[in-house]
Amino acid sequence: MSIELKNISKKFGEVAAVNNVNFSVNDGELVGLLGPSGGGKTTVLRMIAGLELPTEGDIFIRGERVNDLSVQKRNIGFVFQSYALFKSMSVAKNIAFGLTIKKWKKADIEARVAELIQLFGLSGLEKRFPHQLSGGQRQRVAIARALAPKPSVLLLDEPFGAVDAKIRQELREWLVTLHHELNVTTIFVTHDQEEAMEVSNRIVIFSKGNLEQIGTPREVYEQPANEFVARFVGVMNVLEATVGGGVARINEIEFPATGQEDGARLRIGFRPYAVQVSNDLSLLPYRAVLRHTFFLGILLRLEMELPSGLIIRSRMTKEDYAQQGLEDGREVSFQIKNYRVLASDSATLAPELESKYQQPPTMGENI
Amino acid sequence: MGFTLFYLSAIVLIPIGALILKTLGIPWSEFWRLATTERALAAYKLTFGASLIAALANATFGTLLAWVLTRYDFPGRRLVDALVDFPFALPTAVAGLTLANLFAVNGWLGKYLVPLGIKGAYTPLGVVIALTFVGMPFVVRTLQPVLENFEREVEEASATLGAGRMRTFISVIAPSLLPSIITGFALAFARAIGEYGSIVFISGNQPFKTEIAPYLIVMRLEEYNYAGAMTMAVVLLVFSFVLLAVINLIEQWASKFTKG
């Protein structure tokens, strides 16, 4: 096991940034720390690096407790969101910096720098200064610099935050390839669930300083531990139903609810792909009006309004949609093929997130 | 463009042109003799020497002050920050009078310093003190924005790569600050060479001892010795131009890696 966090808490004055977090990262794993801003994920990353000290708990790197080890001695590579390159040094000097500090032999430094320049596609840029590089190149220099002294862990803070969308996609793929080649244990922080899903072996989800769930992208998508995770990762329809006579009911929609007491309120979640839609009004049990269709590529997202005013989201392929002759404003029938009763999350949703949910992230559509 | 040229001409070029034209009327040997009289040489020596020492002191302590002002938050920080501009705002004559009184034998500071052998008033040391006072804001104000823009993360990056605080300062922070320190130093130095008002009161203006070049120029004028005044003025002028050129070169060199 490469990294282990045990009962880690961090307070800034009175404000609790991280609450009793436990998780571990295996050797060679690529793990994403995901959550909304202010969720505590960057603080966790900085604590692993030694840039912040935990208020409580222990951190282990390769079995060694590092709480009392200074940043300088932890042998980690850290890539900052702003890249934090040394402006007065050339690309080659930037990459060599850590090696010079560690007093490598001159020939060894030169060989290592040349190797990294080659690996990171920076040939010909050795003598340039950071301000003469593009955003993507700067980031590669920052990662090369962090990796040069062969750290036991590579930590990246919002590595794709500062570049535009197209380069972002390339960088993601490149990071996965790089990780494949080097196999160095890597932890990165992101607020972009799509990025986390695409790049990570496992995802650790934070909200308001609490660890909400840890699992593979598939696990967190298919078996979200709670409502927060369900809504943060992919699109989720969430309805609150009241139990009565063995069924949970919300307006016209019913879900079987055996073993639940009458009057209990359940939060029920289902993904858009679980909603089957038909133009044949007699085919499926419920009726709704198709309000809006969003084009997402080969898939379309349908927003349907029930007679009671409830909005439910579904999705279908372009071909299906055309074949059924659907269009905005038409009446359709639908059914919900599977759903989950959601555990409430450990903390209520932060207010700034509520607005985000009005326009749900689209990741789920692609899985 | 037209306005810039007109303004520059009216304010700078025409007076300088007139000065040089006037001087051209003086034969070279006469010019050289007037520019290098023993009294003039002693005055240059004091002006340049004291200015250099004052600028060096400012470069050192101004850097320190700018560092403290940007890095630490303490009660009264904003007040101190505002006071940095004080030497700019204060009429130099007032500054000179105040300093002279402060360091005189029976002054607030002089009372304690003179018995210790530190004579501030009417000595070359007084000249250095006055020049340090007027030049201080240059270094602080040049450095402050640079320090404010210096990313904390760059220092942290250095630490994650294994560098201690001292190493980080020498290898990472100092190279980024050096061009600004040099610029601030040069500005303070240039200002000190031309300084007049604050010094005449504290120096005592004894020929060969505490007489600065600008004061000697005034003396020559009062003696109706225009040629003597003019030659010395040209010497100072040439020096100022050289300094200006050096500042510009440094700024060009610095912009190589401070922009972007």
Domain boundaries B35-259, corresponding CATH code: 1.10.3720.10
B163 contacts in chain A (CB < 8 Å): 72, 97, 101
pLDDT band at A367 (very low <50, low <70, confident <90, very high): very low
CA triple A71-A73-A77, angle to 5 deg: 65
pLDDT of the residue at B258 = 54
| 2.60.260.20, 2.40.50.100, 3.30.565.40, 3.40.50.300: CATH of A270-354 | 2.40.50.100
* Distance, CA of A220 to CA of A197 (rounded, Å): 9
Residue A346 reports pLDDT greater than 80? no
Q: Encode pLDDT of B29-49 as tens digits.
A: 888 888 888 888 888 888 889
Of B153, B163, B167, the CB nearest to A84: B153
CA triple B243-B249-B254, angle to 5 deg: 125
Which tokens belong to A72?
């300088």
Q: Encode pLDDT of B161-176 as tens digits.
A: 999 888 998 888 888 8
Which tokens belong to B221?
């004028």
Q: Encode pLDDT of A83-137 as tens digits.
A: 999 988 999 999 999 999 999 999 999 999 999 999 988 999 999 999 899 888 9
* Residues A304 and A291: beta-carbon distance below 8 Å: yes
Flag if B163 and A97 touch (Cβ within 8 Å). yes
pLDDT of the residue at A216 = 94
A66 contacts in chain B (CB < 8 Å): none
A131 contacts in chain B (CB < 8 Å): 257, 259-260
Residue A356 reports pLDDT greater than 50? no
Nearest chain A residue to B151 by CA: give it. Answer: A84
Containing H/E element for A345? none
* Residues A220 and A233: beta-carbon distance below 8 Å: yes
Chain A: closest CA distance from residue B177 (Å): 10
**A→B interface, C-beta within 8 Å:** 49-51, 71-74, 76-78, 80-82, 84-89, 97-98, 101-102, 129-132, 142, 145-146, 149
* Distance, CA of A138 to CA of A85 (rounded, Å): 8
* Distance, CA of A288 to CA of A303 (rounded, Å): 10
Of A80, A82, A101, the CB nearest to B167: A101
Instruction: Give the count of beta carbons closer than 10 Å to the beta carbon of residue B126.
Output: 24
* Residues A55 and A13: beta-carbon distance below 8 Å: no
Instruction: Tell me the three state secondary structure of residue A348.
Output: coil
pLDDT of the residue at A90 = 92
pLDDT of the residue at A344 = 54
Flag if B257 and A88 touch (Cβ within 8 Å). yes
Q: Which of B94, B61, B51, B97 is nearest to B213 (CA)?
A: B51
* Segment among A313-322, A347-356, B181-190 with least mean pLDDT: A347-356
ipTM score = 0.76
Flag if B160 and A82 touch (Cβ within 8 Å). no
CA triple B68-B71-B75, angle to 5 deg: 70
> DSSP assignment, residue B50?
H
Residue B54 reports pLDDT greater than 70? yes
Flag if A101 and B163 touch (Cβ within 8 Å). yes
Of B158, B159, B257, the CB nearest to A131: B257
* Distance, CA of A208 to CA of B244 (rounded, Å): 56
pLDDT of the residue at A357 = 35
Q: Which of A305, A298, A313 is nearest to A236 (CA)?
A: A313
* Distance, CA of B213 to CA of B207 (rounded, Å): 10
* Residues A234 and A221: beta-carbon distance below 8 Å: yes
* Segment among A158-167, B30-39, B55-64 with least mean pLDDT: A158-167
A87 contacts in chain B (CB < 8 Å): 154, 176, 257-258
* Distance, CA of A44 to CA of A153 (rounded, Å): 14
Flag if A80 and B176 touch (Cβ within 8 Å). no
pLDDT band at B224 (very low <50, low <70, confident <90, very high): confident
Top-level class of domain A3-232: alpha beta
Containing H/E element for A134? none
Residue A350 reports pLDDT greater than 70? no
pLDDT band at A162 (very low <50, low <70, confident <90, very high): low
* Residues B220 and B37: beta-carbon distance below 8 Å: no
Exposed (0-12), middle (13-18) or buried (19+): which is A174, by Cβ within 10 Å?
A: middle
Q: Which residues lie below 8 Å from residue B172, measured CB to CB, with a gap of 6+?
A: A86, A88, B154, B155, B158, B163
pLDDT of the residue at A31 = 95
pLDDT of the residue at A343 = 64
Please report where in the chains the tokens 């409430």 appear, as a residue.
A344
Domains of chain A: which residue ranges?
3-232, 270-354
Of B153, B161, B260, the CB nearest to A97: B161
Residue A163 reports pLDDT greater than 80? no
**Strand locations in A13-144, DSSP E?**
15-25, 30-34, 56-61, 64-65, 76-79
Domains of chain B: which residue ranges?
35-259
pLDDT of the residue at B25 = 77
Residue A186 reports pLDDT greater than 90? yes
Residue A259 reports pLDDT greater than 80? no
Chain B: closest CA distance from residue A257 (Å): 54
What's the pTM?
Answer: 0.75
Q: Which of A160, A172, A199 is nearest to A79 (CA)?
A: A160
Which tokens belong to A8?
């880690």
Q: Which residues lie below 8 Å from residue B52, measured CB to CB, with a gap of 6+?
A: B189
Torsion, Cα of A105, A107, A111, A117 (10° steps): 90
Q: Encode pLDDT of A132-159 as tens digits.
A: 998 889 989 999 999 999 999 999 998 8
Nearest chain A residue to B155 by CA: give it. Answer: A84
CA A263 to chain centroid, in Å, comes to 36
From residue A66, give the alpha-carbon distance in Å to each of A13, A40, A61, B73, B156: 23, 20, 7, 31, 18
> DSSP assignment, residue B9?
I
Q: Which residues lie below 8 Å from residue A107, measured CB to CB, with a gap of 6+?
A: none
CA A179 to chain centroid, in Å, comes to 17
pLDDT of the residue at A362 = 38
pLDDT of the residue at A366 = 36
The region that residue A13 occupies, defined by phi over 0 for left and psi between -120 and 50 for alpha, beta otherwise, is: left
Q: Encode pLDDT of B16-28 as tens digits.
A: 888 887 777 788 8
Most confident of the ranges A278-292, B112-126, B216-230: A278-292
Number of CB pairs < 8 Å for A and B?
Answer: 73
Chain B: closest CA distance from residue A165 (Å): 21
The 10 Å CB-count burial string (b at 16+, else e) for B188-211 is bbbbbbebebbbbbbbbbeeeebb
The 10 Å CB-count burial string (b at 16+, else e) for B7-23 is eeeeeeeeeeeeeeeeb
Flag if A132 and B260 touch (Cβ within 8 Å). yes
Q: Encode pLDDT of A40-83 as tens digits.
A: 899 999 999 999 999 999 999 988 999 999 999 999 999 998 89
pLDDT band at B13 (very low <50, low <70, confident <90, very high): confident
Please report where in the chains the tokens 């009057």 appear, as a residue.
A263
* Residues A53 and A103: beta-carbon distance below 8 Å: no
- State chain B's mean pLDDT as an integer: 85
pLDDT of the residue at A193 = 87
Query: Which residue type sits at A244?
Result: G
* Segment among A113-122, A237-246, B188-197 with least mean pLDDT: A237-246
- State chain A's mean pLDDT as an integer: 85
Chain A: closest CA distance from residue B165 (Å): 10
A72 contacts in chain B (CB < 8 Å): 159-160, 162-164
